[in-house]
Amino acid sequence: MSAGLDRIDLKMLRLLQKNGRLTNAELASLADVSPATCHRRTQRLFDDGYIKTVRAMVQPQMVDRAALVMVGVVLDRSTPESFAQFEQAVSKLSFILDCNLVAGDFDYFLKIRVRDMADFNRIHGSQLIALPGVRQTRTFFVMKEVVDNAPLDF
């Protein structure tokens, strides 16, 4: 698997992914190492970039972002400049959770969270179709979230 990670590192990564609030003492106990070693190893996992951040997963419904929408986007032209312009504009829209350049019938796929359908319609009309170089969008309203942002399995 990944160079530089032994069995203990992997165990710690999995534990921290499941529960980022484990204290160093708890993690040490679960990973069968001393608190001192655990502390050093955890620091290394952060310093070397194995863990990007630790994030509290806020329940969307609780902060009025219950509606999830997937949007396929086709651009006018498939030039690097067109792509770059689109991507730069997308990065400034905070309601866009995912934006991926894909191979297939679309150029980009967006994952968007908003308050409700009315909110999405407003945003679609005013901000999405106004993104640079957009020829066409196809909207897929999410009716049921079966799996949402599952932890990485490794």
Chain residues binding its own copies by CB under 8 A are 1-2, 5, 10, 13, 16-21, 49-60, 62-65, 68, 70, 87, 90-91, 94-106, 108-109, 111, 113, 138-154
The token pair that represents 76 in the structure block: 């006018």
Q: Would you say the C-alpha torsion 25, 26, 32, 38 has a positive or negative sign?
A: negative
What is the spatial distance between Cα 88 and Cα 101, in angstroms, rounded to a whole number?
13
As a whole number of angstroms, the distance between CA 14 and CA 2 comes to 14
7 or 143: CB nearest its own copies: 143
Residue 36 CB, shortest distance to DNA, in Å, is 3
Min dist CB 46 to its own copies, Å, is 9
Q: How far is the CB of 122 from its own copies (least distance, A)?
A: 16
CA distance 97 to 112: 6
The 17-56 contact track toward DNA, x by CB under 7 A, reads ------xxxx------xxxxx-xxx---------------
Site for DNA (CB under 7 A): how many residues?
13
- DSSP string for residues in 13-34: HHHHHH-TT--HHHHHHHHTS-
With CB under 5 to 8 Å by kind, the binding choice for 68 among DNA, its own copies, none is its own copies
Q: Measure the CA–CA gap between 128 and 1, rounded to whole angstroms.
A: 40
Query: What is the spatial distance between Cα 67 and Cα 118, in angstroms, rounded to a whole number?
Result: 10
Residue with tokens 């419904």: 61
What is the closest distance, in whole angstroms, from the C-beta atom of residue 154 to its own copies in the complex? 4
Q: Which is nearer to its own copies, 33 or 142 (CB)?
A: 142
Residues at the contact surface with DNA, assessed by CB under 7 A: 8, 23-26, 33-37, 39-41
